[in-house]
Amino acid sequence: MFKNKILTLSLIALFVTLVLVLIMFPLLKWWTSENFFNGSGYGLNSRFSKINTLVPLNNTSKSTDFKLFSLMSQIRFSFVKPPSNYDITGTREGIISKTGNRFKNIILFPGQSDYILRQNNTEVWPRNIQNINNSKSAVVYENNNGHFNTITTLLENLNYINGDRLNTITYDFRNINFDNVYNKFVQFLKDDTVIIAYDFGAVVANMCINKFPNNEQGDKMRSKISKLLLICPTIGGVPMTLRDYFSGNGIIDPNIIQDYHSVLLSMPNKKLYDLPVAIFNSLSYNADNINVLMEQENKPSELFLNLRKQFQESSMQNPNVQTIIIACDQFSTPVSYNFRNNLREKPETYKPQNNNQFPLTDIHNNGNFEGLQAHGDRVVPINSINKLKELWGDNCKIELIKDKDHFTILKSYELALIILSNL
């Protein structure tokens, strides 16, 4: 009888196990590392996308830095943070909350094209790219689910109210109206302002600062900026733009972006890149003759040269405010591309240097990487950051964050601490 009970219990246990397997198997099959990634607003996973310069088309990790999570929780439920203000409007809006007066003023500049564009009330960027009409204007929205979300969440947990001492600069990155951007910036500028800029946002932020008039008024405006935080800045451009521009990144047709101001202003500049950045038909091309490559492909070389002269050069000038460049230097990062004899084809791939230092994470080429590699954050070579520091001098310092790349840095505990220490 005892044996019968054991047999019965064993059969029940086997039955329960089978039921659990049938229930859990679909979930376990879905719950792979692939599904901890998505394209910000694009619905990609790491099988299909590869690192590129257009920020919203890159994977956004869903994994959490638990130290950052703990920090966010402490801030959110802390009673030590400055209290919010309230306004009694005397209107239907009733009592509205405002950011506390003890807070510093913050202006945010997101990364390249990390916005939502709508045409005819339909999203055309970053979703539905195939429907975008570059001959028409678009309404620009903040991408609240994008890569910058961790920073905005951090600030909201500090009781910052969007639109009140916390403002984001938005613009149509395809055709940037620089006067409008500057006017918005001046409108948001107040005493004790901290500017937080990421990726191409650093280019736009520094252009705004260097547009201040060269007189007493300009000095007064500059004095309102207490700190400029540049996160993985693409100031001076990056060689990866060449790959995205000519041969594409496997996501978007390069013909669509050939006139985009943000893309053209992300081409490498000779001040930071003195070695060849491209090889085509066995000829080397330096950063100062990219326009020759563009002419061979009937690309808008004249527009490129005008933008470079008028805007990129000013974005590289010393902002003459206290600046912290937050960067990474542990990952394979392209510094030059060999396009062989066809600019529209995928460039040559190479093994990374120093395999013990560079993680082999490029799943598209079996561990090889498109372009010659150096140290960096996967997008920005660390050498260009060091040269920028040399150009700017004593008002600029570099903070390196380990084990984070151009995109995961935004979810890092260390970045949150740097931001908090400057507020």
Domains of the chain: 55-421 (3.40.50.1820)
CA distance 273 to 383: 9
Q: Is the pLDDT of residue 37 over 80?
A: no
pLDDT band at 45 (very low <50, low <70, confident <90, very high): very low
Shortest CA distance to 207 belongs to which of 326, 315, 291, 322? 315
Shortest CA distance to 411 belongs to which of 323, 304, 328, 314? 328
pTM of this prediction?
Answer: 0.82
Tokens 């000038």 belong to residue: 317
pLDDT on residue 348: 93
Q: Which of 68-72, 152-156, 158-162, 314-318 has the highest mean pLDDT?
A: 314-318
In the chain, what's the furthest Cα-to-Cα distance?
Answer: 100
For the chain, give the percent of residues with pLDDT over 90.
65
Task: Calculate mean pLDDT across residues 125-149.
Answer: 91
More confident residue, 84 or 259: 259
Tokens 């809006």 belong to residue: 93
More confident residue, 413 or 3: 413
Q: Is the pLDDT of residue 271 over 80?
A: yes
CA distance 423 to 419: 7
What are the structure tokens assigned to 333, written together? 């990062």
**Poorest-confidence range of 34-48, 140-154, 398-412?**
34-48
pLDDT on residue 223: 96
Please write the tens of the pLDDT for every residue from 70-124: 777 777 666 455 555 555 545 655 555 555 456 899 999 999 999 999 999 999 9
Tokens 């100062």 belong to residue: 288
